[in-house]
Homo-oligomer: A and B are copies of this chain.
C-alpha cells in the first residue's frame, strides 16, 4: 500500500492527451501532488511559463526527463550533445526539478564498439558534473532495458550504474534512477539495488506486459503484467529510498488513447493495490 503522498505521475503517461497546462490541471483536480516533467512538452509550452504554472499549482516535481545521448564517436557531435544536456540541466533548475534523468546513448553503427561507447558515456558524465553542481540539479543515471541498448542507452544494468558511480565519486550530484520496467529481469537486481543504497534518487514504475508489441511504447499499467512491483519497491526502500514513486507509462495502444481522468483514477487505484 503506497502512501498516496508519495505518488508522482510522469507527464509522459498522458503525453498525447494533454498540453502542459491541461496535464497540470488534470493532476490538480484529481488530487495528485507530484509529477515529473517531459522535456519536449515543457519546451513546447515554454520553460519559464511551465515553471510559473507548476509553482502556482503547488504540485511538487520529482524529476525532469530527459537529457543525454552523448555516446557519439564523433567529437563534435558528442560535444554538441553534452551542451544540450547542460541546457536540459538549466531547464530542470528553472522548473525546480531535483534531478535530470540521464539517458546515456546507444551504440553507433559506425564503430559498433559498445565498450568504447560506454567509456565515452562515462567520460561525458564526468564532464557534465561541474555544470550540474553549479545549477544544483542531480544527474540521475537511468539504466535502460537491454532491448534499447543500440539506440538509447548502453547503460543496461544497475550494476554498471554502480560501477560508474564508483568511478565518478560524486555522490552529491550523481545518482541512479531505478525504473522497474528496465531492470525487473536482472538476476543481480536485489544485490545491486542494495549496493546502490542512497544513490537511488528516482524510482519509476510500470509493468511488463507478456504480449509486449513494441520496444518502447507498450508499457503496462501496474498490475497488468508480470513484475512484482511491491517486491521491487521493497528493495529500493530497504536500500534507503523514501522518495516519490513515479508512474511512467509509454502506452501507444492503450493508456495514451484514454481519457486523462480515467487514466489517473486507475493509477491511483493500482498504486494502492499493485505497487
Interface size class of A (residues with CB under 8 A): 20 to 34
Contact residues in B for A109 (Cβ distance below 8 Å) = 210, 225-226
Does A184 sit within 8 A of B, measured CB to CB?
yes
Contact residues in B for A225 (Cβ distance below 8 Å) = 109, 150
Q: Compute how far the CA of A138 lies from the CA of B36 in the bound complex, rounded to whole angstroms.
A: 51
Contact residues in B for A149 (Cβ distance below 8 Å) = 185
Does A114 sit within 8 A of B, measured CB to CB?
yes
Structural contact, A112 and B150, CB atoms closer than 8 A: no
Contact residues in B for A112 (Cβ distance below 8 Å) = 226-228
Does A151 sit within 8 A of B, measured CB to CB?
yes
Q: Which of A48-56, A156-164, A194-202 contacts B (4 or more CB under 8 A)?
A: A156-164
Please list the residues of chain A having a beta carbon within 8 angstroms of any beta carbon in chain B. 106-109, 112-114, 118, 145-147, 149-151, 154, 156-157, 159-160, 163, 184-188, 208-210, 212, 215, 225-228
Min CB distance A189 to B, Å, is 9
Structural contact, A208 and B156, CB atoms closer than 8 A: no
Min CB distance A100 to B, Å, is 23
Which one of B187, B215, B228 lies within 8 Å of A157 (CB-CB)? B187
Structural contact, B114 and A184, CB atoms closer than 8 A: yes
Q: Compute how far the CA of A149 lies from the CA of B209 in the bound complex, rounded to whole angstroms.
A: 11
Q: Compute how far the CA of A185 lies from the CA of B208 in the bound complex, rounded to whole angstroms.
A: 20
The 6 closest A-B pairs by CB, nearest first: A147-B147, A149-B185, A146-B185, A107-B226, A112-B228, A160-B187
Q: Compute how far the CA of A127 lies from the CA of B142 in the bound complex, rounded to whole angstroms.
A: 40
Min CB distance A132 to B, Å, is 24
Q: Compute how far the CA of A232 lies from the CA of B60 in the bound complex, rounded to whole angstroms.
A: 47
A151-B210 CB under 8 A given contacts A159-B187, A160-B187, A185-B114? yes
Which one of B157, B188, B215, B228 lies within 8 Å of A114 (CB-CB)? B228
Min CB distance A180 to B, Å, is 12
